[in-house]
C-alpha cells in the first residue's frame, strides 16, 4: 500500500499547482482526478450530449475508457487510447465535467482507477472527494481553499498572461456556479473530510502552502 495524500478543494484553489510541487519535493506521483472527469466530459461533448441528460450520459459511459500514463513524471490522460491531455483544459470541457461528474455512474467508473493507482504507489491525489470518498484512509488529507474573489483574480491573471481575453465578473460567476454544483450534488459532494486539515491560501504564497503540506506529510511518515 502506498503512502497517500489527498488534496480536495474548490475550483481554482491551486490544488494542481501545489500538488505538483509537493510531488516533486517528496518523489510522490501526482494524480489529477479532475483530468479523468474532464476526459469523460470530452467524450460526452464529442457525442453532442447535454450535461444534464443523465440517462444519455450513463449510456455514453459504456463506450468510454479512461486511462492514465506518465511521461517523464507528467500525467497524461487517455480517452479510448487517445491522448486528450491538452483538449481537457478547455473551459467548455471543465463546465461539462462539473455537470457530468454529478452522475453516479461516471463517478463509479473512475473510482477504481483512482484506488488502484493509490494502492500501488505513493501518491498525492487531488480532486473533490478524495479524502471523503476515494481514499478515506489517506495518511494526510488537506482541504485547500481560497475566497471566490482570490480564485477569480488568479484565473483572470492566468488567462490574461496567456493573452486570452476574459471578463473578471464572468469568471467570478462561473466559479460560484461551479462551487455550488460541486458542493451540492448528491453523490460525493465537495466537502472537507472530518479529519482533513484546512488550508486557506487566500493570503498565502505558493511556497508557504507547499511548505505547510510537506510539514504535515513529514509528521505522518
Ligand atoms: O479540478 P478540475 O477543474 O479539473 O475538475 C473538473 C470537474 O470534475 C469539477 O468541476 C468537478 C469534477 N471532479 C469531481 O467531481 N471529483 C473529483 N475528484 C475531481 C473532479
Tens of pLDDT, residue by residue over 102-126, are 999 999 999 999 999 999 899 999 9
Is the shortest distance between the CB of 127 and ligand 1 below 6 Å?
A: yes
Quote the ligand 1 centre to 10 CA distance (angstroms). 9
Across 110-128, b (16+ Cβ under 10 Å) vs e yields bbebbeebbeeebbbbbbb
Report which ligand 1 atom has the smallest distance to the Cα of 16.
Answer: 1
Q: Average pLDDT, whole number, for the chain?
A: 96
Task: Write the DSSP symbol of residue 100.
Answer: H
Is the shortest distance between the CB of 37 and ligand 1 below 6 Å?
A: yes
* CA-to-CA separations, 9 to 160, 179, 198, in angstroms, rounded: 24, 9, 9
Rounded Cα gap, residues 199 and 164, in angstroms: 30
Cell numbers 457525442: residue: 47
Tens of pLDDT, residue by residue over 73-95, are 899 999 999 999 999 999 899 98
Is the shortest distance between the CB of 140 and ligand 1 below 6 Å?
A: no
Rounded Cα gap, residues 21 and 194, in angstroms: 25
CA of residue 161 relative to chain centroid, distance:
22
Tens of pLDDT, residue by residue over 184-208, are 999 999 999 999 999 999 999 999 9
Amino acid at each position: 500500500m502506498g503512502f497517500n495524500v489527498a488534496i480536495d478543494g474548490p475550483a481554482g484553489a491551486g490544488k494542481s499547482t501545489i500538488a505538483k510541487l509537493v510531488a516533486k519535493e517528496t518523489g510522490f506521483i501526482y494524480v489529477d482526478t479532475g483530468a479523468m472527469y474532464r476526459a469523460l466530459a470530452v467524450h460526452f461533448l464529442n457525442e453532442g450530449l447535454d450535461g444534464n441528460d443523465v440517462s444519455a450520459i450513463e449510456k455514453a459511459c459504456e463506450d468510454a475508457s479512461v486511462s492514465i500514463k506518465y511521461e517523464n513524471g507528467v500525467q497524461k490522460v487517455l480517452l479510448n487510447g487517445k491522448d486528450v491531455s491538452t483538449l481537457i483544459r478547455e473551459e467548455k470541457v471543465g463546465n461539462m465535467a462539473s455537470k457530468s461528474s454529478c452522475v453516479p455512474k461516471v463517478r463509479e467508473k473512475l473510482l477504481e482507477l483512482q484506488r488502484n493507482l493509490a494502492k500501488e504507489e505513493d501518491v498525492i491525489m487531488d480532486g473533490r472527494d478524495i479524502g471523503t470518498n476515494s481514499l478515506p484512509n489517506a495518511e494526510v488529507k488537506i482541504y485547500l481553499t481560497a475566497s471566490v474573489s482570490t480564485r477569480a483574480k488568479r484565473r483572470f491573471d492566468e488567462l490574461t498572461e496567456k493573452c486570452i481575453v476574459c471578463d473578471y465578473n464572468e469568471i467570478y460567476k462561473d466559479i460560484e456556479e461551479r462551487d455550488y454544483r460541486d458542493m451540492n450534488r448528491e453523490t460525493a459532494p465537495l466537502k472537507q473530510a472530518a479529519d482533513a486539515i484546512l488550508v486557506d491560501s487566500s493570503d498565502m504564497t505558493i511556497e508557504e502552502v507547499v511548505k505547510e503540506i510537506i510539514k504535515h506529510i513529514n509528521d505522518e511518515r
